[in-house]
């Protein structure tokens, strides 16, 4: 009997060689999870780091039998390291890849090193808009507000440039 799969929204970001690192992350995740959908790529100004390269941000919807902590520390963190991510004290430092769990099904998780839903989902357009593309009717587990409504509220005041490419699922 197989384990139940949880639908997970991931946020992806890169401002060091994003044209290489975002597809590499998607390819690796496809080998380790079941990818269901991918968003458009958006270009966004870095928060708290003026003068650094703009980020390319996107979202993935996947299904996994893993628990949230296992997904983060056994899949996402090793993948970030494999793509050259070095965690620095400056959380706004440029990075080849940033992979975050935005939503883990309808679960609310508050553990050391993991808060789900991602708090940025309610305040950052570069998190909310790509996630809403994947399932605009999906309700935020705490507020109940559909992702599409959250994105519509945040997008007008954000500097969010829709790029022509979408993340391609293998």
Is 98 a known active-site residue?
Answer: yes
Is 85 a known active-site residue?
Answer: yes
Q: Which of 98, 118, 153, 166 is catalytic?
A: 98
How far does the chain reach from its first CA to its final CA, in angstroms?
A: 27
Q: Which of 20, 31, 85, 87 is catalytic?
A: 85
Q: Which of 20, 87, 95, 157 is catalytic?
A: 95
Q: Which of 34, 91, 100, 135 is catalytic?
A: 100
Q: 44 pairs with which residues across the strands?
A: 55, 160
Catalytically active residues are 85, 95, 98, 100
């Amino acid at each position: 009997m197989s384990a139940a799969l949880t639908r997970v929204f991931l946020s992806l970001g890169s401002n060091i060689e994003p044209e290489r690192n975002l597809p590499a992350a998607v390819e690796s995740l496809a080998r380790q999870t079941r990818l269901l959908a991918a968003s458009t790529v958006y270009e966004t100004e870095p928060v708290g780091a003026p003068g650094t390269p703009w980020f390319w941000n996107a979202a993935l919807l996947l299904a996994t039998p893993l628990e949230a902590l296992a997904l983060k520390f056994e899949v996402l963190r090793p993948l970030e390291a494999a793509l050259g991510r070095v965690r620095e004290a400056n959380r706004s430092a440029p990075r080849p890849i940033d992979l975050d769990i935005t939503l883990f099904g309808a679960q609310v998780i508050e553990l050391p090193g993991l808060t789900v839903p991602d708090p940025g989902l309610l305040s950052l357009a570069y998190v909310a808009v790509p996630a809403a593309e994947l399932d605009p009717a999906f309700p935020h587990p705490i507020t109940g507000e559909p992702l599409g409504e959250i994105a519509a509220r945040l997008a007008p005041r954000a500097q969010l440039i829709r790029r022509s490419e979408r993340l391609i699922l293998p």
